Amino acid sequence: MGFENTEGSDKPSETEGGGDTRLVLTERDRAAINQRASKGIVRVIVAQAIMLSVAVLASWLVSGRAAAASALIGGCAYLVPNAIFALRLLVGLWGPAQSSPFTFFVGEAFKLGTAVIVLGLAAWLGSGWVVWPALVVGLLFVLKGYVLLLASRRLP
């Protein structure tokens, strides 16, 4: 059985009988899909926050306050813009603003640009006290937050 988007695709799906069939989603179906997507987005942000906490705690235990602050800066350089982007995606799912592929690419560019700016500011303003290995560990732990979801079998 073939499925197709009801938003105007010109390509009909083929079934065994040769006829066209279209998948028509009810509002209940759309709400269930949006609910699952929302849970996945929130899970990723929570997993990244947990991984950042682990990185900050480990850095503090190994090297002290400056390392913990550096890990926090490194992790927040990606976590904060990612959380803002996730909020925008959630608004697109549940609110009046619709998301599009262009919105996604703009959000990704925002996340990467903000991370580069924050890391540049950390290099410029914190040159005397930033512990670079801890900063990188904080950033990597947040970037790999999905590993926590994968390990717990909660990956959306």
DSSP 68-110: HHHHHHHHHHHHHHHHHHHHHHHHHHHSSSPP-HHHHHHHHHH
The pLDDT of residue 156: 66
Q: Is the pLDDT of residue 107 over 50?
A: yes
pLDDT average, residue stretch 35-46: 85
Q: Is the pLDDT of residue 49 over 90?
A: yes
Q: Which of 60, 82, 85, 47 is nearest to 137 (CA)?
A: 60
**Structure-token pair, residue 58:** 């480990």
* Nearest-5° Cα angle at 80, 76 to 85: 150
Q: Is the pLDDT of residue 5 over 60?
A: no
Assign residue 18 a region (left: φ > 0; alpha: ψ between -120 and 50; beta: otherwise). Answer: left
pLDDT band at 9 (very low <50, low <70, confident <90, very high): very low
pLDDT average, residue stretch 4-23: 56
How much is the mean pLDDT over the chain?
83
Q: Using CA atoms, how far apart are residues 15 and 135, in angstroms rounded to an integer?
A: 55
**Structure-token pair, residue 107:** 């959000």
pLDDT average, residue stretch 111-136: 92
* Nearest-5° Cα angle at 138, 72 to 119: 75
Residue with token string 């801890």? 134
